[in-house]
Amino acid sequence: MIFTAAQIAQLINGRTEGNADAAVSSFGKIEEAKAGQLSFLANPKYEEYLYSTHASVVIINDNFELKQAVNPTLIRVPDAYTAFATLLAKYQEIMQQQLSGIQEPSYIAKSAKLGEQVFIGAFTYIGENVVVGNNTKIYPNSFIGDNCVIGNNGVIHAGVKIYQGCKVGDQVTIHAGTVIGSDGFGFAPQADGSFIKVPQIGNVVIEDQVEIGANATIDRATIGSTLIKKGAKLDNLIQIAHNVEIGYSTVIAAQAGISGSTKIGNGVMIGGQAGVVGHIQVADGSKINAQAGLGKSLKTPNTAVTGSPAYDYNQAIRSQAIARNLPEMEKRIKELESLVKQLLAERIS
C-alpha cells in the first residue's frame, strides 16, 4: 500500500512542509530509513538524523525548529510520537482485517457463536457456548474454554489459554503464551501441616481496550471476578492473583506481581519487578517504583514510593544522597571527636 504525505497528514490531522505528493509504502527508523519510507522524530537525541535521513516523509512536533534544510517532506503535529503510534495502529488494523476464516485443523463446538470476519487459526480449540465478537482474530494453538465471551475487534495471539467462564471485552489484545483464568493460589493449612485446596469457582473479567503482554498470568477469583478495568496495560511476565482489581488506565511493567484481593486504583503506574502484597488498596495515580516491595495500603492519591519495604520516593532519594556521603561524614565526625578531646584536654590542663 502506498500513501502520500498529504493523505497521511489528513489521517493524523497534521500539516505538510515540502512535497505533499511524496509517497511512502513502509516504516523505518529515522537513522536507518530509506527512500519510500515514513519515519518520525520525537526524541531530541535523534535530531541529527533528521538532516541526513533518506526517509521520504518524517513526522515532527509542531514546535520543532529546524537548524538547517531537510530533504524529506515534513508533517507537523502536536505530538509526533502519538501520531506515529496512531499510524502504526491503523496499519496493523488493515493487515489484520485481511485475515478471516477458519483454518484447519481446529475444533469449534457446535454451540459456539462466531461473529462476522472472525479469524480462527489452526490447532485452536473453542469450547461449548463460547461467543466470539465481530472482527476478532484468534491465532493458532489457542484455547478458549467453555462459556467464555470475547468481544469485538480483539486479537488473541498464538498459544493464549483462556479458561472457562472468563469474559474479554472489545478491542482487547492478549499476547502469546498468556494464561487467563488459571486457579488462584488458594490452600487452607491443616493442623498436620498439609494443605487443602480451596476451589476457585470465580472467573476473570477483562474490560475494553486492555492490552496484556506475552506470558502473563491472571488467576480466576475464588468467588466473584478478578477484574482488569478498561484501558489497563499489562506488560510481559506479570502475575495477577485471584480477586485482584486493576483500575482504569493503570500500567504495570514486566515481572511485577500483585497478590490476592489487592485493589489497584485508576491511573496507577507500577514498575518492573515490583511486588505488592495481598488485601491492600493502592490509591488512584500512585507510582510504585521498579523492584519496590509494597507491604501496606497507599491511601493518598498520587503517592510515589520506592524500595523494599516501599516508602516515600522523595524521602528515599534524600536517604540515598545521605548514604553516598557517609564515608565523608564519618571522617568529619572523627575529626570533630579528635578536636573535642583536644579542647577538653587543654581545658583540664
- Do 151 and 133 contact (CB within 8 A), yes or no? yes
**C-alpha span between 50 and 168 (Å, rounded):** 42
Q: How far apart are the C-alpha atoms of 284 and 248, rounded to whole Å?
A: 9
| Integer Cα distance of 13 and 188 in angstroms | 58
Question: What DSSP state is assigned to residue 70?
Answer: -
Close Cβ partners of 179 (under 8 Å, ≥ 6 residues apart): 160, 161, 163, 216, 217, 218
- Global pTM exceeds 0.95: no
Catalytically active residues, by annotation:
242
Task: Report yes or no: 286 and 302 within 8 Å, Cβ to Cβ.
Answer: yes
Give Cα 24 to chain centroid, integer Å.
30
**Pick from 77, 74, 83, 82: which is nearest to 55 by CA?**
74
172/233 Cα distance (integer angstroms): 10
Torsion (CA) 295, 251, 289, 292 in degrees, nearest 10: 30
In this prediction, residue 311 carries a pLDDT of 66
> Beta-carbon neighbour count of residue 35 at 10 Å?
13
Q: Say how many residues make up the chain.
A: 349
Ordered by start, the domain boundaries in the chain are: 3-97, 101-314, 315-348
The CATH architecture annotation of domain 3-97 reads: 3-Layer(aba) Sandwich (3.40)
* Beta pairing partners, 93: none
- Taking the domain 101-314, which CATH number applies? 2.160.10.10
User: What's the pLDDT tens digit per position in 284-320?
Assistant: 999 999 999 999 999 999 999 998 887 687 887 788 7
What are the start-end ranges of the H helices in 51-190? 80-97
**Fold match between domain 3-97 and domain 101-314:** no
User: Which residue type does 90 have?
Assistant: K
Other Cβ atoms less than 10 A from the Cβ of 66: the count is 12
Backbone angles phi, psi at 245, to 5 degrees: -120, 125
Asked if 198 and 219 count as a contact pair (C-beta separation under 8 A), the reply is no
Which helix (H) or strand (E) segment holds residue 150: the answer is strand 149-150
Of 197, 231, 198, the residue nearest 212 (C-alpha): 231
Query: What span, in angstroms and rounded, lies between the C-alpha atoms of 74 and 15?
Result: 8
- Residue whose entry in the numeric block shows the C-alpha cell 490452600: 187
State the pLDDT at residue 197.
96
The contacts of residue 128 (CB under 8 Å, 6+ apart) are 109, 111, 112, 146, 147
Low-confidence ranges of the chain (pLDDT < 50): none
168's CB contacts (< 8 A; 6+ apart) are 148, 149, 150, 151, 154, 162, 174, 180, 206
Predicted pLDDT of residue 94: 77
Read off the amino acid at residue 336: L
DSSP state for residue 247 in the 8-state scheme: -
Indicate the SS3 state at residue 9: helix
List, in order, residues 6 or more apart from 64 with CB less than 8 Å away: 41, 76
